[in-house]
Chain A
Amino acid sequence: MKNEFQVIADLIEKDKKVLDVGCADGTLMKFLKDNKNINIRGLEISKERVQECISKGLTVIEGNAEKDLKQFPNKSFDYVILSQTLQAFLNPELVLDELLRVGKKAIVTIPNFGYWKVRFHLLFKGTMPITKTLPDEWYNTPNLHMCTIKDFFHFVKSKDIKIFKSLALNNLNKSTINESNLGVKNLFADLGIFLIEK
């Protein structure tokens, strides 16, 4: 399992009720179910991934986060997870609002467009950056609204969303982001992980 999922799992206490939005093949769901006795549900847009989840015995709803989160009642989950997908929505702000309505807390991870390799790629190659967390070409990327850790940090603050934990991840290194080190983390982390609440 990728390190990001381990970090997310560490943020969640045992026996909680969790919704994984864009749960893909259910790897994180399965881990949380088996290791933390989590009552876990998934929402996934791809039929193939939904089938994979079913074959793992996971409860998944085929659907689209932009349309289908509204069926869940307010604060019906302890945590709602959104891993590296926020930038792919037509309206990320609306999705973020929905995550925080449905979940008592939300865990949102974002691929950092401010990462030095991304900046380096654009600066010296002059072409759209391709990295481990941003593997697609400009013409076939699902990403519509790329942002940096700094962008997301400011965005969340401006919306009066409480940040419980913000973590910078670079390969296996995990560190805490705060106001004072934001510039540095924004340069050296390829992934930001935020535990937030509204």
Chain B
Amino acid sequence: MNTEKNIKTLIVKKPLKLDCGKTIKDFPIAYETYGSLNSKKDNAILVFHALTGDQYVTGINPATNKEGWWSYAVGPDKAIDTNKYFVICSNVIGGCMGSYGPSHKDPDQKIFGTNFPVITINDMVNAQYNLLDHFGIDKLFSITGGSMGGMQVLQFISNFPDKSKTVIPIATTSSHSAQNIAFNELGRQAITADSNWKDGNYTSNKTNPGKGLAVARMAAHITYLSKKGLQEKFGRKLQEREDLKFGFDADFQIESYLRYQGSVFVDRFDANSYLYITRAMDYFDLAKQFNGNLSEAFKNTNAKFFIISFTSDWLYPTQENKDIVIALNSIGADVGFVEIESDKGHDSFLLDVPDFLSALKNFLDKSYEEN
């Protein structure tokens, strides 16, 4: 959670009207940048993070002391080459790494908790748009992100059709499915069922709904992996024991792994932020914003799209990514698409998947050459 003093923050003075009807102003957006902006200011890439990500895309994340969430893809000579491009990423509003969120205080100096306004993907990108003005960038070279990051990519280019030359949504959807909502609801129920959640006022009650948040993370983590990937990595292997113990301790490695994933997550993430961000994802339905016609969302842009999905991703499956391709083709947009072969499930976009990384690099570098 955000206790760091050296987080780069932009205070947005301009009032922002949220989809829920409320207006926020003078609010912070925490961001990080990598590489340098060239004199023509035409090499900037805005990266959007996923549900539990943050602005620390690559290098060592100062909050966790671990590698940034997209270290495989972003850095010097990597797919998103920071020797060449200026990468900007900001924490979404509703988040817990410095941007305006439920752990912040309201004007009466009371911690928001669940009094923080419900935010949407649309609100997130409208807030982040202020970073372009901050850096004096008229047009981005690219916008990209996976999962919820991909949703922000789609919403951003729909809201600001002439603000990016290229657009790369990865492993995402234009509309959260019933299954997606169901898994998110499971996570929210786990959090709110924790007696330490205290209707969201755990900070003032000096409690922490860590158990609930850990269960939410464990359930979600399963959805990020594939059955085959789990089977190959863990199978029925036992955890530091010769045989079953006939009890409810973690006998299996997969149990121990999930418990570990849950426990480390609790140290870095805020339970209320988890509620808010999953809600934003569930509310995301880009076609609905255009009376059910997704193509309309993109009709004003000349950007070049490249959409990437993964064979073993059952959370945001290839077909949902292809639906975006179809919507773009039906208006004659410039769109490429590839489905990457991988056993690593939805998490493939975060991992070392060479075919994915080379496709991303080739698309970016070739598009930049044509600039």
A interface residues with partner B (beta carbon < 8 Å): 41, 47, 50-51, 54-63, 71-73, 76
Across the A-B interface, the 10 shortest Cβ-Cβ residue pairs: A57-B366, A71-B326, A55-B362, A61-B337, A59-B336, A71-B329, A54-B362, A62-B338, A50-B338, A54-B359
Within 8 A of A (CB), among B318-365: 325-326, 329-330, 332, 334-341, 355, 358-359, 362-363
Q: Is the CB of B325 within 8 A of A71?
A: yes
Q: Is the interface of A mostly helix, strand, loop or mixed?
A: mixed
- Report the minimal beta-carbon distance from A20 to chain B, rounded to whole angstroms: 13
Q: Is the CB of B304 within 8 A of A59?
A: yes
Measured CA separation A54–B339 after assembly (Å): 13
- Report the minimal beta-carbon distance from A76 to chain B, rounded to whole angstroms: 6
Q: Is the CB of B363 within 8 A of A54?
A: yes
Which residues of chain B come closer than 8 Å to A58, judged between CB atoms? Answer: 336
Which residues of chain B come closer than 8 Å to A50, judged between CB atoms? Answer: 338
- Report the minimal beta-carbon distance from A104 to chain B, rounded to whole angstroms: 13
Measured CA separation A41–B339 after assembly (Å): 17
Q: Is the CB of B369 within 8 A of A57?
A: yes
Q: Is the CB of B330 within 8 A of A62?
A: no
- Report the minimal beta-carbon distance from A59 to chain B, rounded to whole angstroms: 5
- Report the minimal beta-carbon distance from A102 to chain B, rounded to whole angstroms: 10
List 28 interface pairs A-B (beta carbons < 8 Å), by A numbering.
A47-B338, A50-B338, A51-B338, A51-B355, A51-B358, A51-B359, A54-B336, A54-B363, A54-B366, A55-B358, A55-B362, A56-B366, A57-B366, A57-B367, A57-B369, A58-B336, A59-B304, A59-B335, A59-B336, A60-B338, A61-B335, A61-B337, A62-B338, A71-B325, A72-B329, A72-B330, A73-B330, A73-B332
Could you say which interface size class chain B belongs to? 20 to 34
- Report the minimal beta-carbon distance from B55 to chain A, rounded to whole angstroms: 29
Which residues of chain B come closer than 8 Å to A61, judged between CB atoms? Answer: 325, 329, 335-337
Q: Is the CB of B336 within 8 A of A60?
A: yes
Which residues of chain B come closer than 8 Å to A41, judged between CB atoms? Answer: 334
Measured CA separation A61–B318 after assembly (Å): 13
Which residues of chain B come closer than 8 Å to A60, judged between CB atoms? Answer: 336-338
Chain A, Cβ-Cβ closest to B358: A51
Measured CA separation A52–B341 after assembly (Å): 15
